[in-house]
Amino acid sequence: MQKRRKHLQSGQVGVITLLIMAVILTVAIGLSQRTTQQQDAAFIQDESTRVFNAAESGIEEALSAITEAELVGETADVEDSFTLGDDEVSYSGQAREEFEMFVAAGDTVELPIDLPQDTNLDISWWEGESNCANDPSAIIVSVLSANNAKHYGFDPCAADRDTNFASTQPGSGGYAFRVTVPLTTDDVRVRIKPIFNSTKFLMNSNAITLAQYTAESTGLNTQ
């Protein structure tokens, strides 16, 4: 009887030992998988950072080419590519006859203009809802020449606010409002000031000498 009990105890010890070994093996496999995943994540992050830095170098090249063209009074339309380590980088820069930026309420943005002939300046603003309950921006536009200044006021909610400003037209391209301001060859700069609320502007005219450029760059890992 005692021999049988010892035999059963030995069997139980053997089972417990196997279970412990199985748990240890499972934990070891789990740690191994986790380590592999961490290594893969670190590798992907390093590769992404390197490719991003390569694309950033392309933007720097595009800006350098644009600056060189501006210094000699030319408009830059650039497109090129180069190799940086294991990465292929392609970039481009194109001039746009428009200026887009965010302006806080009460601040003023000023644009130099150069006109070979009379033309117009289209101004779009306000990316929110167009109803007056949202308190959209009104704008004051000043067109300056060497001898005089012309001032315009535009308000999409002129009746509600009693501003006596001119009305606006429906905008497009994500903007709620648009107006057109006439320019002459005597005009040298335009100032635009939002009131009642801050807003993003889009100004479009071939008269803008401080136009914006769209620069794009792509980095590709060839390995």
Q: What is the pLDDT of residues 171-189, one digit of tens each?
A: 999 999 999 999 999 999 9
**How confident is the model over 1-60, as pLDDT tens digits?**
444 444 444 444 455 555 555 555 555 555 555 555 555 555 556 666 766 777 777 778
What is the structure's pLDDT at 2? 46
**Is position 167 within any domain?**
yes
**Is position 122 within any domain?**
yes
pTM passes above 0.75: no
CATH number at residue 151: 2.60.120.1300
Under the banding of pLDDT at 50, 70 and 90, the label for residue 73 is low
% residues pLDDT > 70 (the chain): 68
Total of domains in the chain: 1
For the beta carbon of residue 219, count every other beta carbon within 10 angstroms: 20
**Is position 175 within any domain?**
yes
217 φ, ψ (degrees, to nearest 5): -145, 140
**Is position 216 within any domain?**
no
**Is position 155 within any domain?**
yes
**Is position 157 within any domain?**
yes
Q: Return the structure tokens found at 223.
A: 């390995």
**Is position 80 within any domain?**
no
Range of the domain at 177: 98-204
Strand partners, 88: 83, 220
Residues 6+ apart with CB under 8 A from 36: none
SS percent in the chain: helix, strand, coil, step 5: 35, 40, 25
Nearest to 79 by CA among 98, 97, 96, 66: 66
Q: What is the mean pLDDT of the chain?
A: 78
Nearest to 86 by CA among 184, 221, 206: 221
What integer is the mean pLDDT of 181-209? 90
**Is position 42 within any domain?**
no
